[in-house]
Structure 1
Amino acid sequence: MATIETLTGREKVTVQPYCEVGKAVVRLVDCGTERFLRSDNYGRSARDIPGKLSQTIQPDKAAFERLVDLGKRHF
């Protein structure tokens, strides 16, 4: 897992949506000197190992604010 420090927006593209994942668990992480929002994403139940962690996304404050800004402009 790595901390996302820089988040860059790209032009809109037309693609097919991904299938739904099994679940995502969002954790509010406080390391004392830094805070993060961590999203642990799990795959579908049809995977070889159901319930296995698929990926973790952990933006720092600046990257999270950029993500919120991109989402507001997009939606």
Structure 2
Amino acid sequence: MLMGVAADAQTYDPDYPVCMQIYGPVGYLDCRYGSLDQCKFLAVGRSASCIVNPYFTQKAPAVPHRSRRLDHGEG
């Protein structure tokens, strides 16, 4: 016999560096903030706190392509 049990699975959106953790009877994480300042501004007056998203996948900056220059000097 299988019994269904509700599980509170928290999800972290890896596209955003900051999450707002909302407290209460139905607490949850809202990970859609670009900075701690933005999150804190929007958390004012709420039972919430802002945390760094541990699963944020920062995109690596593009590496400029450098051409290889061969030295054909006599030596």
TM-score, with length taken from structure 2: 0.23
Question: Based on CA coordinates, which of the two structures has the bigger radius of gyration?
Answer: 2
TM-score, with length taken from structure 1: 0.23
Structure with the higher fraction of residues in helix conformation: 1
Structure with the higher fraction of residues in strand conformation: 1
